Structure 1
Amino acid sequence: MSVNEYLESLLRETVLEFVNGDFDKISAKLIDDLTIEDIKEELNNWGELTPPPDSAYRNDTNRIGYSDGSGYVIEFELWIDNQKSDLTLTCEVLVDKMQNIQSFRIENLHVL
């Protein structure tokens, strides 16, 4: 599996955890400054999270590489009531020198 395919798989898994309300799994991925209460509070301002179409993971993911090659920031607009919303999931992916993924963490959930 390529790095891009693996990143897409991790993102898809995380988005589906949000859709399914699996807060235990989400909590394990949060950066230290973000709490599950923060996530729940933001989600309360929106309608029902729905799974995005498969094409969204390929076409609507914003991935920004760190200049030192140590990782990426990934931004993905979540889907609400079967439509893309402004509610954006931001994740950080750290990689080693061989581009093997070392960590995948949720950095933020916010309106972009």
Structure 2
Amino acid sequence: MDDNIIGLLESLVVLLVNSKFSEIVARNENGRLSQSEIEAALREYPGIISLPPESAYRSVYVYDIYDGATGARKSEFDLWYDGEVSDLTLSAEIKKNSSGELVITIEDIHVL
């Protein structure tokens, strides 16, 4: 697993857990979801979102998308609620921006 991808994912999850939704939008990491859609997806799931243990990031599912220019990948990561893994999944895309830096954007937050 690429440590850069884990770092981006971990940073995004910390923002979600700490309800820093406007910061997610300011960083253009919200993807196609609006700030209110992100808030609603997390609020409507029963319980309270919590930080996963460090080891949870090692089980993120990452798969390549055919796009050699951006090195795009998709990831699926189960969010944690009340200190336990849930079936609410953060789907995100990780790719290189025009400057060649890896960036992450939310694709969806949904129950799998």
TM-score in terms of structure 2 length: 0.84
1:1-112 to structure 2, matched below 5 A, reads: 4-28=2-26, 29-31=29-31, 33-46=32-45, 47-58=47-58, 60-69=59-68, 70-95=71-96, 101-112=101-112
Percent identity over paired residues: 34
**CA drift at 1:63:** 0.1
| Aligned equivalents of 2:8, 2:30: Cα separation in 1 | 14
Q: Which amino acid aligns with 1:73?
A: K
CA distance in 1, matches of 2:75, 2:101: 13
Structure 2 CA distance for partners of 1:17 and 1:95, relative to 1, 3 Å: same
1: CA distance, partners of 2:56 / 2:94: 19
Deviation at 1:66, TM superposition (A): 1.1
Whole-angstrom distance in 2 between the partners of 1:37 and 1:4: 31
Matched residue of 1:44: which SS? helix
Unaligned ranges ≥5, structure 1: none
TM-score w.r.t. the length of structure 1 is 0.84
Cα 1:54–1:102 shift into 2, 3 Å: closer
Assess if the C-alpha contact under 8 Å between 1:93 and 1:101 holds in 2.
no
Q: CA deviation at 1:76?
A: 0.3
Q: Secondary structure at the match of 2:44?
A: coil
Structure 2: gaps of 5 or more residues: none
What is the alpha-carbon distance in structure 2 between the residues aligned to residue 24 and residue 51 of structure 1? 19
Cα deviation for residue 101 of structure 1 reads 3.8
Q: CA RMSD, aligned part only?
A: 1.7
Q: Is this contact kept in 1: 2:8–2:103, CA < 8 A? A: no
Aligned pairs, number: 105
